[in-house]
Amino acid sequence: MAPEIMKGLKDVYLDTTESSFIDGQEGKLLYRGYNIHDLAEKSTFEEVIYLLLYGNLPSKEQLAEFDVHLKANRRIPDEVIQVLELVKNSHPMDALRTGISAMSAFDPEVTDNSVDATIRKGIRLTAMGPTIVAAHHRLRQGLEPVAPNPDLNHAGNFLYMLFGEVPDQETTNLLDVDFILHAEHGANASAFGARVAASTISDLHSAVVTGVGVLKGPAHGGAAEEVMKMALEIGQPENAEEYCRNILDNGGRIMGFGHRVYKAEDPRARHLRDRSRALGEKLGEPRWFQILNYVEEEVMVRYRSRGIFVNVDFFAGSIYYLLDIPDDLFISIFALGRIPGWTLQCAEQYDDNILIRPLLEYSGEMDLEYVPIEQR
């Protein structure tokens, strides 16, 4: 009897997790039991990293100590800067993948796959990830990398290293919320990829490299960049209907809509929607939000009955664009936010490991006769 094929592993439960809870029908997301809405409005990325990796909200003292530790791990060795210089013409996600891979040569615990060492390595990778992305971005412009600034938080320091200027508080807060919203999301494709790597008892650096590679595709983290490209091509809200019709009538997809798990609105989207609107108004550039709003409310509204709503990526691109962040950096920002999630998933995998190794039903020919090359 032919086996049942679970194509794309849709609706397949791989394991249990204490990382995040997702109710796709209701549009609900919890990290370690805490609602994403509370975390987005009341927490900080530093606190969320702590929550994810240690399982509870920190006390004031614990958070202060953790913050010192994170800041102390922001620097990357000169050798890694040299590697980034060599690959400066590559896409920022490829540079991040290469930078993390290169960092494995300098991590004293690289081969220690105990849960405790994995958490420690994940914290180091989370701390230095922004330094890799920012250094590569500077090098590709022919500029010197900017050293981390210990007076700034994780989000503010990233912007500082990227642009060489201390960002204002509002901009820092925007990126902080963005990191929080991207920090963890169950068995998404990149976390699954990272878990597969960990399940072979490969090390965390390899697993995070896998996560970065899987995240890069437009069906996953690459959507934010595509959404902003679409908004720029649409140009004015009145062009949106025809533009989207052309795509949809030809069997295409509108980027930033649809989700494997959410059949209601992605709960992360509202935080970016509100901020995209407010930032556009503040900067006197409301057009991008108006275009996206038109696509959501006038065009894609018809797809809601099919369970297709905006996802986290739909409004993210417009915020980055308004912050003057180049579009090919959008996915890297997602990746920087997600390192704690990948780390936690790998720690869970190591803690109760089983090799992840599904089956494929063979559909090719059988028992063919081998013909020597001279007779073919």
With CB under 6 A as the contact rule, the residue among 259, 271, 273, 275 that binds ligand ACO is: 259
State in angstroms the smallest separation of the CB of 166 from ligand ACO.
30
Size of residue set near ligand ACO by CB under 6 A = 17
CB nearer to ligand ACO: pick between 311 and 343 = 311
87 part of the interface to ligand ACO, by CB under 6 A? no
Residues in the chain: 376
Site track 235-254 with ligand ACO (rule: CB under 6 A), x = hit: ------------------xx
Cross-strand pairs, 310: 257
Report the Cα 227 to chain-centroid distance in Å: 15
Distances in whole angstroms, Cα of residue 369 to Cα of each of 224, 239, 363 = 50, 59, 18
* Consecutive H or E run containing 23: strand 20-23
DSSP state of 174: H
With CB under 6 A as the contact rule, the residue among 88, 260, 287, 304 that binds ligand ACO is: 260
CB nearer to ligand ACO: pick between 43 and 311 = 311
State in angstroms the smallest separation of the CB of 308 from ligand ACO.
5
Distances in whole angstroms, Cα of residue 324 to Cα of each of 66, 90, 145, 273 = 30, 20, 18, 18
With CB under 6 A as the contact rule, the residue among 92, 167, 256, 341 that binds ligand ACO is: 256
Q: d(Cα 18, Cα 347) in Å, to the nearest integer?
A: 11
State in angstroms the smallest separation of the CB of 262 from ligand ACO.
8
Rounded to a whole number, what is the distance in angstroms from the first to the last CA of the chain?
35
* Consecutive H or E run containing 29: strand 28-31
State in angstroms the smallest separation of the CB of 311 from ligand ACO.
4
DSSP state of 20: E
CB nearer to ligand ACO: pick between 159 and 214 = 214
Look up 259 and say whether it is catalytic. Answer: yes
Cross-strand pairs, 90: none
Of the candidates 136, 154, 182, 259, the residue annotated as catalytic is 259
Residues 131-150 interacting with ligand ACO (rule: CB under 6 A): none
State in angstroms the smallest separation of the CB of 38 from ligand ACO.
21
Backbone angles phi, psi at 23, to 5 degrees: -110, 105
User: Is the separation of the CB atoms in 358 and 141 below 8 Å?
Assistant: no
Look up 313 and say whether it is catalytic. Answer: yes
Q: Which two tokens stand for residue 370?
A: 């081998």
Cα Rg of the chain (Å, integer): 22
198 part of the interface to ligand ACO, by CB under 6 A? no
Strands 34-35 and 28-31: antiparallel
State in angstroms the smallest separation of the CB of 207 from ligand ACO.
18
Task: Determine the 3-state secondary structure of 288 from DSSP.
Answer: helix
CB nearer to ligand ACO: pick between 69 and 245 = 245
With CB under 6 A as the contact rule, the residue among 311, 343, 345, 349 that binds ligand ACO is: 311
Of the candidates 107, 176, 178, 313, the residue annotated as catalytic is 313
With CB under 6 A as the contact rule, the residue among 127, 313, 319, 343 that binds ligand ACO is: 313
Burial of 54 (0-12, 13-18, 19+ CB in 10 A): middle
Q: d(Cα 91, Cα 154) in Å, to the nearest integer?
A: 23
Could you tell me which stretch among 103-111, 156-164, 202-210, 216-224 binds ligand ACO (CB under 6 A)?
216-224
219 part of the interface to ligand ACO, by CB under 6 A? yes
State in angstroms the smallest separation of the CB of 297 from ligand ACO.
15
Residues at the contact surface with ligand ACO, assessed by CB under 6 A: 8, 219-221, 223, 253-260, 308, 311-313
Q: Mind telling me the catalytic residues?
A: 259, 313
